[in-house]
Structure 1
């Protein structure tokens, strides 16, 4: 029986019991072809669509920046589970609804250079664009509005507050609260919409893990380079202009 498993952006098949293995590699040219033919493109948000990590900015705003930044580094590097890192970071921040609203007003998220043009071009080619983030919906919706992405194309975590506005935790039922959550969202999108070619673009380990079920992954290092992601990406870019050039070939 052939047993497939995914490692280093390759599909390996093991024939038990002899465990005779062969692999099918997604080449750079194949990855670019999938991108040009994509039905849907899914973007990570923090350090990809926007320049900063939203949770780190919230932590700084609440006066606990250093402790939370270290946890973010571990989470994005894949050394701790995403849900564990998210729970621990939020237990340190304990932000109020008022603080979140003030952060968005006083320090709105900064779009990465070229993302507006890329999303506009994808829309012109009738490609559906989604934002799938381990960050917070209240911030990601603000980003989506700037990019003319429908809010029902946003998948992110929801903060919870008590009636007086104090922090009450986060919605743990959201798929984006779990490790491999982005992959679960992409599987759902493929099943719901019948997408044949879905591309995931992001800077972190949680984005890389979403391929498969994404048909291709593009690593993004325009804001921060995570060595593990760079090494394991068939196609790694440091600007959205590289992706725009590829779309010009259509």
Structure 2
């Protein structure tokens, strides 16, 4: 009888932990961090204003993201690969970002990032923050220099959504126990699919499409929404 009781209690505790489990998935640029990495790379290439203008239009959903990314990456051709070190040094985490990851992990939750940015910088951001999952683009480098091309399939809005679903499935979680946050138009599908979708300091189209919005640059405000939702 004692063994049966313990087994039942353990099963109930496991069920409770699973019910409380969450997966938080965030965009990187202008969400997890304050900057747009591609804009920083553009500045290094001497085309900062041109790249930033294209970024702004893409994030507002005014132009096709894939086309805009390829155009911006093309402007980076010839940069030495050491540019990644300098770019990472300029990155700053959004207020509350590291705290949000720490609090999530303390609860046993997982955190992932999906980005139209680049693994060459994103991987360092992920390591610093202690994030569990990462999906980003890769830049082609030959002879120590950027070619102006991408080295893998582009991370589109569809792939961001696929990552949310795939990571949730891996964890055995329904989408109702996921959280998605971002600022751009390419974040809308995952924001709408997640159990808790948050537009963070977002562009107008994203704000209109999201169930929840945060307009202050403090990612810990997301925890209030997650816990009450």
TM-score surpassing 0.5?
yes
Q: Which residue of 2 aligns with 1:159?
A: 139
- Residue deviations 1:8-51 (CA, integer Å, cap 9, x gap): xxxxxxxxxxxxxxxxxxxxxxxxxxxx9552000111000100
**37 and 77 in structure 1: CA distance in 2 versus 1, 3 angstrom threshold:** farther
2: CA distance, partners of 1:215 / 1:249? 12
Q: Of 195, 212, 228, which residue of structure 2 is paired with 1:235?
A: 212
Q: 1:110-121 residue pairs with structure 2 within 5 A? A: 110-121=92-103
2: CA distance, partners of 1:206 / 1:249? 26
Q: Alignment RMSD, CA only?
A: 2.2
**Greater percentage in helix:** 2
Q: Which residue of 2 aligns with 1:127?
A: 109
Cα deviation for residue 231 of structure 1 reads 2.2
Cα deviation for residue 80 of structure 1 reads 1.8
**243 and 187 in structure 1: CA distance in 2 versus 1, 3 angstrom threshold:** closer
Cα deviation for residue 192 of structure 1 reads 2.8
Cα deviation for residue 72 of structure 1 reads 0.4
**Which deviates more, 120-129 or 229-238?**
229-238
Q: Which residue of 1 aligns with 2:15?
A: none
User: TM-score, with normalisation over the residues of structure 1?
Assistant: 0.75
Q: Which residue of 2 aligns with 1:54?
A: 37
User: TM-score, with normalisation over the residues of structure 2?
Assistant: 0.81
Q: Which residue of 2 aligns with 1:184?
A: 162
Q: Of 59, 84, 96, which residue of structure 2 is paired with 1:76?
A: 59
